[in-house]
Amino acid sequence: MSMPPEVLKKMVKKIDGWDIVVGSRFLPGGKDERAPSYPYLFSKVLNLLCQSFLYHDFRDYTSGFIAVKRKVLENLSLEGDYGEYFIILIAQSKKKGYKVLEIPYICEKRRYGKTKTSPDLLSYVKKGVKYLLGVSKGAKIKWERKRY
């Protein structure tokens, strides 16, 4: 429940005027309550890297908290197995001119159980390599010329 269900309801309501709505921890009003843990630091660093190589106006490339219109999703390809798919999806969306809205949300600390994502620092490093490949693929999408 780190991603509050009530925010998902807001996202679905906003989708009418947008193609994609993303919950963002890095907008004013948003917050990541996991700070200052290594998952938080990993997200911050990776987002700065993404903003440097991809689109500067998008703030939370590691969110994954997303609502997408079906017709938009049918025109995009999903690549990657964990979070890197999201980086590539946003790069494709921005390149194709889809309207993307980020809305703030507060990512809460886990209350129960253990994370399935990466339970330790070594797992985060391994995932980090995949994320970096996602950034690379996203940059390639951004700068690729249209072929006629």
Q: In the chain, which ranges are E strands?
A: 20-24, 31-32, 66-68, 100-104, 106-107
Give the pLDDT score at 118: 66
Segment 94-134, tens digit of pLDDT: 999 999 999 999 988 877 766 666 677 787 778 888 888 88
pTM for this one?
A: 0.87
CA–CA dist 63, 23 (Å, integer): 7
**Within its chain, how far is the Cα of 111 from the centroid?**
22
**Whole-angstrom Cα distance, residue 132 to residue 145?**
22
Q: How far apart are CA 116 and CA 105, in angstroms?
A: 21
Q: What is the pLDDT of residues 1-57, one digit of tens each?
A: 678 889 999 999 999 999 999 999 999 999 988 777 777 888 889 999 999 999 999
